[in-house]
A = this chain, B = another copy of it.
Amino acid sequence: MPDKQMTIQRASRPGGESGARPIMLAIAGDSAAGKTTLTKGIVEALGHERITSICVDDYHRYDREERRSLPFTPLHPDCNYIEVMAQHLQLLARGEPILKPVYNHADGTLGRPVLVEPREFVIVEGLFPLYSKLARACFEATVYLDPPEPIRHAWKVRRDTQKRGYTEAQVLADLEKREPESAEFIRPQRAQADIVVRFSPIKERGEADTDPPSATVLLRPTISHPDLSNIVDDDMRHAMHLKLQRDDDGKPVDALHIHAYAEREDTRKVEEAIWDELDTHDALPESLGIVDGERSEPLALTQLILLYHLIQAKGA
């Protein structure tokens, strides 16, 4: 039961063989689910000197050329050094450096590895960080990004045509090819996360696909979240609301809905209340919620909740 050993070893923080152990957050999700956008604001809020962020999609076993003759896509565990990924997560969780492989998305080649040393905090984003029990045991908090598939497809087309040199037809064909493996290997990680985030227009509220996305943040009682029940009250119902509900599997969750049109002054109140729960002398970071140069209140508040978990775990 090595995952149990990992959990026990990490419970006796701080100080492993090589000194203090970092606080680790996982952000899992399918390709173009918004992992990098979510990560970016948290990294900027804490500062690059305090946080290490890595993408575990670098653990591809084959380069783009080799994959052409293989029967699976990068969403298949066999297409990745999945055990080495878990091994490296354990090393980071123990405060040790890793020599991380590098996959160049621009041209699909595997390059020379880089040294990654864990700072106070480590964010691990990618397709598979919640895939195995042992990998999950390395994290203080785990997130799964769960946008509706049509929206994720649109995001992927935009990104891969603009930044990775694919045509739209290629991306759409790729999405179709990946679908069975996404269903089999990626989406089951949703059930393993402490927090499930869905950026999407909320149709029940009359929001259209073209509107800036609202957020639904499912807060599972697997970790201790900030107490929002007194903060998110009826007065700010038009900006956000908290609802006790059952998840797809029937288990109870708190669902925080944050509307895209939420006013800064409303979210500000909630942010301050969450921040006050933390025993920190740092000021509430101003850098949250930025996407394409604009501030998104749903993104800002989601990032703040994740930041809360990092800072709270650090103090614990």
Give, as a whole number of angstroms, the nearest-CB distance from A87 to chain B. Answer: 6
Please tell me if A111 contacts chain B, counting CB pairs below 8 Å.
Answer: yes
**Across the interface, which residues of B come within 8 angstroms of A96, CB to CB?**
87
Complex partner residue of A113 from B91, B109, B113, CB under 8 angstroms: B113
Q: Which of A61, A109, A112 has the most CB of B within 10 A?
A: A112
Q: How far is the CA of A175 from the CA of B68 in the complex (A)?
A: 45
CA A226 to CA B281, docked complex, whole Å:
66
A179 within 8 A of partner (CB): no
Closest CB in chain B relative to A2 CB, distance in Å: 5
Give the CA-CA distance A84 to B87 in the complex, in Å: 13
Q: How many residues of A contact B (CB 8 A)?
A: 21
Complexed CA–CA distance, A5 and B9 (Å):
15
Residues B99 and A91 in contact, CB atoms below 8 Å apart: no
Contact (A115, B2) CB under 8 Å given A99-B101, A101-B99: no
With a CB–CB cut-off of 8 A, which chain B residues contact A99?
81, 84, 99, 101, 113
**A109–B109 CA distance with the chains assembled, in angstroms:** 15
- Integer count of this chain's copies in the complex: 2
CA gap between A101 and B101 in the complex, in Å: 8
CA distance A5 to B61 in the complex (A): 32
Report the separation of the CA atoms of residues A17 and B115 in the bound assembly, to the nearest whole angstrom.
25
Interface string of A18-62 (1 = CB under 8 A from B): 000000000000000000000000000000000000000000010
From B5, B109, B112, A110 is in contact (CB under 8 Å) with B112
Residues of chain B within 8 A of A272, CB atoms compared: none
The answer to whether A77 has its CB under 8 Å from any CB of chain B is no
A78 within 8 A of B: no
Chain B residues contacting A109 (CB-CB under 8 Å) are 112
- Nearest-neighbour CB distance to chain B for A179, whole angstroms, equals 28
Closest CB of chain B to A248's CB: distance in Å?
34
CA distance in complex: A187, B5 (Å): 40
Contact of A115 among B5, B84, B91, B115 (CB under 8 A): B84
**A212 within 8 Å of B (CB atoms):** no
A234 at the binding interface (Cβ < 8 Å): no
Q: Is the CB of A84 within 8 A of B97?
A: yes
Q: Are A112 and B111 in contact, with the CB atoms below 8 A? A: yes
Least Cβ–Cβ distance between A143 and chain B, in angstroms: 26
Question: What is the chain B residue whose CB lies nearest that of A110?
Answer: B112
CB contacts (< 8 Å) of A113 on chain B: these are 99, 101, 110, 113
Knowing that A99-B101, A112-B112 are A-B contacts, what are 20 other residue pairs whose CB atoms are under 8 Å apart, sorted by A's residue number? A2-B17, A5-B17, A61-B115, A63-B112, A81-B99, A83-B97, A84-B97, A84-B98, A84-B99, A84-B115, A87-B91, A87-B97, A99-B99, A99-B113, A101-B113, A109-B112, A110-B112, A110-B113, A111-B111, A113-B113
11 contacting pairs across A/B (C-beta < 8 A) = A2-B17, A61-B115, A63-B112, A83-B97, A87-B97, A101-B113, A110-B112, A110-B113, A111-B112, A112-B112, A113-B113
Q: Which A residues have a C-beta under 8 Å from some C-beta of B? A: 2, 5, 17, 61, 63, 81, 83-84, 87, 91, 96-99, 101, 109-113, 115
